Structure 1
Amino acid sequence: MLKSNSSHYQDFTHLDQWLYYLENLHSTEIDLGLARVGKVAQRLAIDLSFAKVITVAGTNGKGTTCAFMENALLNAKIAGVKQSVAVYSSPHLQRFNERLRINKQDIEDKPLMAAFEQIEAARGEISLSYYEYTTLAALLVLMGVKPSYIILEVGLGGRLDATNIIDADIAVITTIDLDHQAFLGNDRESIGFEKAGIMRQEQDIVIGDSNVPKSVLAHAHALHAIDGERLFLREQDFVVTGEKSSWQWQSKQTLLTALKTPFIPRDNVATALMVLEKLEIPLSADFVNQIISITKVAGRTELIPQKNHCDVILDVGHNPQATRYLADYLKQLKEQANYENIYAVVAMLGDKDISGCLQSLKDVVDYWYAGALSVPRAASKETMQNNLAMFTNATNCFDNVDEAFKMANKQASSSDLILVFGSFFTVAQIRAQLTIC
């Protein structure tokens, strides 16, 4: 571990050198709390008051909700003028630069490195985690660019996440379920309390979970957020009805009908629409359908055809709520596309609910190919095998996920579908091998 900053960083000429330095700078990978990052932010005079800021927390659906809002804001003309929009998110799939995009363009290396130098000069004796450091860098870059809208995706929890040093104009919570229990608590009420920490007084709050934990509502009401005035709840202030192929969204002031089937979860579109209404973006069915048609997110039910072979679907789902959604999605997809068999390639981190995730898909997947990731928190192939053995004998286990995918690809026919899921690491590793059209 590098305990303090030194002038040798001035010799760094590539972003990879900086990232390696940051990976080894702090004693722990995940170290929640705002004290350290807040002090450095003060020294850097971090201020995003020039923009409308939306902070998005939740167990699942953050990335897709952010993407829908991003596309809508970029394509809306407000007073005849197109807006500039920035999104900060994590983790990335293949390049670090994916974590900050401005008007749909990933940030270049140079402004990131310049921001890292500023942070290194300012932090002094304060040790920052990789995530804290890179979050500050994104905020510094945004201060220079000054976009009209900034969407901040919370990394972990909310209350103690580095993004929470910013007071947003709108706080969004997508869904609340079990994940990261070691950091956030072992039940939905505890996790909800952590997510609710992004809320502020005098702020619009949008909650997309249709079964909101009491802890979330209690926190909102303690901030004097009144239902329907500052607090906007799914099934109360906005609702979704109809079939997935032609559905409608309704709030207390807007009705949108004949909406198309989205590529992302419909629930996340619904949440994003409530946020857009509060931002006073003009909403019509034609406009929303336009945004639905262009909103696809890498690694989220991402379908990739292989030339002269079977299709591959990539999904970063790594908790039971996400894999339950994935199972329903695959059932419909298999029926629509007439896939014969589904071959699942899976590798996960050891601190996830592996059994819960795998069992969600037991009635959808025909053949299993499990591997191990080459990261410190990875579940071993034996762990994967033991969890799969609880409900299936159609299992093949490999030392790594590359070998698992290679064998699945060899044994699947052109009428089959290969599912790759279980972790951002899993999807990133296989996605890099595929030709994305």
Structure 2
Amino acid sequence: MSQHTPSHSLHSSLQEWLCYLEHLHNQEIDLGLARIGQVATRLDIRFDFAKVITVAGTNGKGTTCAFLENALLGQGKSVAVYSSPHIERFNERLRINRQDCDDQAFICAFVEIEQARGDISLSYYEFTTLAAFLVLMARKPDVIILEVGLGGRLDATNTIDADIAVITTIDLDHQAFLGDTREAIGYEKAGIMRANTPVVVGDKNPPQSLLDHGNSLEAEMYLRERDFFVSGAGNTAGQGDGINWQWRCGQTLLPELKLPSIPQDNVATALMVLALLEVELSGELVNGLIRQTRVPGRTEMFHLQSDIMLDVGHNPQAARYLAGVLAQKRRQENYRRVFAVVGMLADKDISNTLKPLAEDIDAWYLGTLDGPRAAKAQEIARVLPPEQENINCFDNVTQAFKMACNNAKATDLILVFGSFFTVAEIRRLLV
């Protein structure tokens, strides 16, 4: 047994452990399955007791996972969801039957990993993912839903062979790690596929690289607009000519579905997964799930002196969706002005993330996030379209938010977006 210092022992707090893990490996993001695979083998990680669903994609992973979770809990299954990053508490990363994992379960798992890894260096994400796996092996839920952290092929979650793989959307994000084209990124996401195993692809125009990889494995691909179909309304809540939409797969038709608060495309993708799991789908069941499924930090509304919307959108595709929601919300609520509170990471495509929203923003309140990856508020200001005049820069997003609140009237909307870190910082002030 290895010797533990007091900074990382069974008697340490969860926060002490997490501080230790942050400094254990020399790179924050270090993709690859070799290190985690060796330790997983030593720990004998296996999920043969559960049905495993792995969800990858540029956007829409969290909402797809949440819809599946609600649906399967409603079928009487015990359901675990592993996701990252968290918004407020680390414990949010693993929930079982909607209950966040407790500190002690994580600490016991950390101790076991620390003893097993020997001299193998693990990143924070690899270490915490293995801890979640150990907790899941102890709790043995019926269904395990794994949200991929980054990419797919080399993500720590991909040490597990899924019974069903899900790929929501493919777009540009994390280009430094995944490539700078949809074809390159599609290949990385396709890495969660397995031979002769179902994979649901929610992207309406998947890259050829993804299709080629699936065909080479002889994976059972279920593709949007080939195997399942959506018609009516639009992907943004409230868009489209009608108030309802419909979903179809084979002989199953769900004709009068309500508009969800999460992206409609993600509901459609999740319904295909449920069909593969032989859940008996009906309009009444699905509309109940649509009403039930709301995810923190995804177009989440708070009503204080003025209305506040939080969204973790941080790439161009997410911003295009958010722009549609914002435009519709502005029409519905007749907001006089929209103030944007933004903090972003420097390695994001800041210009193309802000551009889709620019015409609906009346004033910008830009803050600098904590950490070495953060973009300075002044750097964000420089890439805003030149016609944007009301731009205010602050040392942090809390200052930016408080000034926006001071200036906003009851008829205004404050939109907070740009990063999980931005939403986490402001959500703590609101909840």
Q: Give the shorter-chain TM-score range.
A: over 0.9
Corresponding position of 1:210? 204
Corresponding position of 1:112? 106
Residue 389 of structure 1 and its aligned partner are, at CA, apart by 5.3
Corresponding position of 2:348? 352
Q: Of residues 206, 211, 222 in structure 1, which corresponds to 2:216?
A: 222
Corresponding position of 1:148? 142
Corresponding position of 1:70? 69
2:246/2:257 contact within 8 Å kept: yes
2:358/2:385 contact within 8 Å kept: no
2:275/2:281 contact within 8 Å kept: yes
Distance (whole Å) between structure 1 residues aligned to residue 11 and residue 346 of structure 2? 34
Q: Of residues 326, 337, 343 in structure 1, which corresponds to 2:339?
A: 343
Q: What SS does structure 2 have at the residue aligned with 1:348?
A: coil
Distance (whole Å) between structure 1 residues aligned to residue 333 and residue 3 of structure 2? 55
Corresponding position of 1:294? 292
Q: What SS does structure 2 have at the residue aligned with 1:30?
A: coil
Residue 202 of structure 1 and its aligned partner are, at CA, apart by 2.0
Q: Work out whether 1:84 is the aligned partner of 2:78.
A: yes
Aligned pair in 2 of structure 1 residues 391, 355: CA closer, same or farther (>3 Å)?
A: farther
The 10-residue stretch of structure 1 (261-270 or 245-254) with the greater mean CA deviation from structure 2:
245-254
Q: Work out whether 1:200 is the aligned partner of 2:194.
A: yes
Corresponding position of 1:188? 182
Q: Work out whether 1:419 is the aligned partner of 2:415.
A: yes
Structure 1 segment 285-324 matched on structure 2, within 5 A:
285-306=283-304, 309-324=305-320
* Cα RMSD after superposing both structures: 1.1
* Deviations, residues 110-151 of structure 1 (Å, cap 9, x unaligned): 111000011001000100000000000000000011100000
Q: Of residues 97, 106, 130 in structure 2, which corresponds to 1:136?
A: 130
Corresponding position of 2:48? 49
2:355/2:385 contact within 8 Å kept: no
Which structure 2 residue ranges, 5 or more long, are not aligned?
235-242
1:362/1:391 contact within 8 Å kept: no
Distance (whole Å) between structure 1 residues aligned to residue 246 and residue 276 of structure 2? 18
Q: Residue type matched to 1:87 in 2? A: V
* Deviations, residues 89-130 of structure 1 (Å, cap 9, x unaligned): 000001000000000111100111000011001000100000
Corresponding position of 1:79? none
Q: Residue type matched to 1:231 in 2? A: M
Q: What SS does structure 2 have at the residue aligned with 1:433?
A: helix
Q: Which runs of 4+ in 1 moved over 3 A?
A: 4-8
Q: Work out whether 1:428 is the aligned partner of 2:424.
A: yes
Q: What SS does structure 2 have at the residue aligned with 1:296?
A: coil
2:310/2:423 contact within 8 Å kept: yes
Residue 72 of structure 1 and its aligned partner are, at CA, apart by 0.4
**Overall identity of the aligned pairs, in %:** 62
Residue 241 of structure 1 and its aligned partner are, at CA, apart by 0.6
Structure 1 segment 26-41 matched on structure 2, within 5 A:
26-41=25-40
Q: What SS does structure 2 have at the residue aligned with 1:361?
A: helix
The 10-residue stretch of structure 1 (380-389 or 309-318) with the greater mean CA deviation from structure 2:
380-389
Q: Work out whether 1:14 is the aligned partner of 2:8.
A: no
Structure 1 segment 369-384 matched on structure 2, within 5 A:
369-384=365-380
1:314/1:420 contact within 8 Å kept: yes
* Deviations, residues 381-409 of structure 1 (Å, cap 9, x unaligned): 12011112534111111111111101110
Corresponding position of 2:233? 243
Corresponding position of 1:59? 58
Corresponding position of 1:279? 277
1:359/1:391 contact within 8 Å kept: no
Residue 11 of structure 1 and its aligned partner are, at CA, apart by 5.8
Q: What SS does structure 2 have at the residue aligned with 1:205?
A: strand
Which structure 1 residue ranges, 5 or more long, are not aligned?
77-81
Structure 1 segment 263-274 matched on structure 2, within 5 A:
263-274=261-272
2:64/2:270 contact within 8 Å kept: yes
Residue 254 of structure 1 and its aligned partner are, at CA, apart by 1.1
Corresponding position of 1:99? 93
Distance (whole Å) between structure 2 residues aligned to residue 390 and residue 107 of structure 1? 47
**TM-score when scaled to structure 1?**
0.95
2:10/2:111 contact within 8 Å kept: no
Q: What SS does structure 2 have at the residue aligned with 1:68?
A: helix
Aligned length: 421
* Deviations, residues 151-183 of structure 1 (Å, cap 9, x unaligned): 000000000000000000001000000000000
Distance (whole Å) between structure 1 residues aligned to residue 336 and residue 16 of structure 2? 47
* Deviations, residues 323-379 of structure 1 (Å, cap 9, x unaligned): 000001111111111211111000100000000011110111111111110121000
Corresponding position of 1:410? 406
2:311/2:417 contact within 8 Å kept: yes
Distance (whole Å) between structure 2 residues aligned to residue 362 and residue 296 of structure 1? 26
Distance (whole Å) between structure 2 residues aligned to residue 363 and residue 419 of structure 1? 14
Q: Of residues 156, 161, 168 in structure 1, which corresponds to 2:162?
A: 168
Distance (whole Å) between structure 2 residues aligned to residue 297 and residue 35 of structure 1? 33
Distance (whole Å) between structure 2 residues aligned to residue 362 and residue 18 of structure 1? 42
Aligned pair in 2 of structure 1 residues 11, 112: CA closer, same or farther (>3 Å)?
A: closer
Q: What SS does structure 2 have at the residue aligned with 1:215?
A: helix
* Deviations, residues 15-51 of structure 1 (Å, cap 9, x unaligned): 0010000001000000000000000000000000110
2:35/2:122 contact within 8 Å kept: yes
